[in-house]
């Protein structure tokens, strides 16, 4: 008998080992309907041990156990200061709803800090908006409106970036796991945006660190080499360079 415990609601059930399909990696909890990874069986135990053990849902996806504040802070800390360990242990399946929620929260907060600091720095240099139907117009409501749209911007960014990244990984044969793994890596990488809380240098640090975290996250989630991930991310730049060269070389030769 194998004791299977749902990490989301702690529902447990004993299942005969012979009833578990060979190679099965995930199960759906009959109580909370959440998908989770199941422990490797005896025949797969040595392989799992070599890979570092069974993957588990990140702290954010165990809010019922850890609480909202602790689950968020532990996830952010793992992504910012130990991305390799965080993504190596994080489950590659379990749905996109939870990582999307984390990505929206972390990404929106970081973007709001960036807009706030930028608004303070440039407040004196912005032109006057003049008078409108409701009286004098200022940049304050404009910045507030942009901040309110931050979650929408993050959702669009995550969807587009995940699709592009997974497509590029497939090209270099680095998309070992499904699109969900890429989306989860991109979503949890949004924690890097929180570096924007630091005035002046925070925005630049956030941009640089999110690229590093995404490379590490994709490498660990898809269990491929850094070379394949970096090559995949360089493809757009190589296409741009070749396109410019294809246009400029004939022009220069004709001059």
For 94-160, the DSSP string reads S-SHHHHHHHHHHHHHHHHHHHHHHHHHHGGGSPP--EETTEE--HHHHHHHHHHTHHHHHHHHHHH
Cα–Cα distance between 85 and 56 in angstroms, integer? 12
In sequence order, what are the beta bridge partners of 90?
Answer: 56
Cα-Cα-Cα-Cα dihedral sign, residues 38, 40, 42, 44: positive
CA distances from 148 to 97, 100, 143, 145, 197 (A): 21, 18, 9, 5, 17
The percentage of the chain sitting over the pLDDT mark of 90, rounded to a whole number, equals 42
Least confident stretch, 13-22, 153-162, 209-218, 244-253: 13-22
Q: How many CB atoms lie within 10 A of CB 164?
A: 16
Average pLDDT over residues 179-197: 94
pLDDT at 48 over 50: no
Query: How does residue 12 score in pLDDT terms, banded at 50, 70 and 90?
Result: confident
- Strand ranges in the chain using DSSP code E only, listed in sequence order: 2-5, 12-15, 26-28, 35-37, 131-132, 135-136
In this prediction, residue 133 has a pLDDT band, given cuts at 50, 70 and 90, of: very low
Cβ contact 100:185 at 8 Å:
no
Produce one character per residue of 170-203: b if its CB has 16 or more CB atoms within 10 Å, e if not: eebebbebebbbbbbbbbbbbbbbbbbeeeeebb
- For residue 181, is pLDDT > 90? yes
Phi, psi at residue 51, to the nearest 5°?
-85, 0
Q: What is the pTM of this model?
A: 0.69
208-226 core/surface letters (b: 16 or more CB in 10 A; e: else) = ebbeebbbbbbbbbbebee
- Cα 202 from chain centroid (whole Å): 19
- Give the model's pLDDT for residue 125: 55
pLDDT (mean) for 28-39: 80
């Amino acid at each position: 008998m194998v004791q299977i415990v749902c990490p989301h609601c702690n529902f447990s059930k004993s299942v005969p080992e012979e009833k578990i399909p060979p190679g099965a990696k995930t199960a759906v909890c009959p109580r909370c309907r959440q998908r989770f990874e199941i422990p490797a069986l005896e025949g797969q135990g040595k392989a799992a041990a070599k890979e570092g053990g069974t993957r588990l849902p990140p702290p954010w996806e165990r809010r019922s156990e850890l609480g909202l504040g602790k689950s968020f802070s532990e996830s952010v800390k793992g992504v910012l200061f130990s991305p390799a360990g965080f993504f190596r242990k994080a489950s590659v399946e379990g749905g996109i709803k939870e990582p999307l929620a984390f990505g929206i929260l972390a990404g929106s907060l970081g973007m709001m800090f960036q807009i706030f600091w930028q608004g303070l720095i440039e407040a004196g240099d912005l032109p006057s908006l003049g008078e409108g139907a409701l009286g004098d117009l200022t940049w304050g409501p404009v910045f507030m409106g942009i901040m309110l749209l931050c979650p929408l911007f993050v959702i669009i960014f995550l969807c587009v970036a995940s699709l592009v990244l997974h497509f590029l990984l497939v090209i270099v044969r680095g998309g070992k796991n499904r699109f969900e793994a890429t989306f989860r890596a991109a979503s949890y990488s949004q924690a890097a945006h929180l570096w924007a809380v630091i005035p002046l240098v925070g925005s630049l640090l956030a941009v640089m660190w999110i690229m590093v975290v995404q490379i590490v996250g994709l490498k660990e989630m898809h269990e491929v080499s850094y070379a394949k991930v970096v090559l995949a991310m360089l493809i757009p730049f190589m296409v741009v360079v070749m396109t410019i060269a294809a246009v400029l070389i004939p022009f220069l030769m004709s001059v």
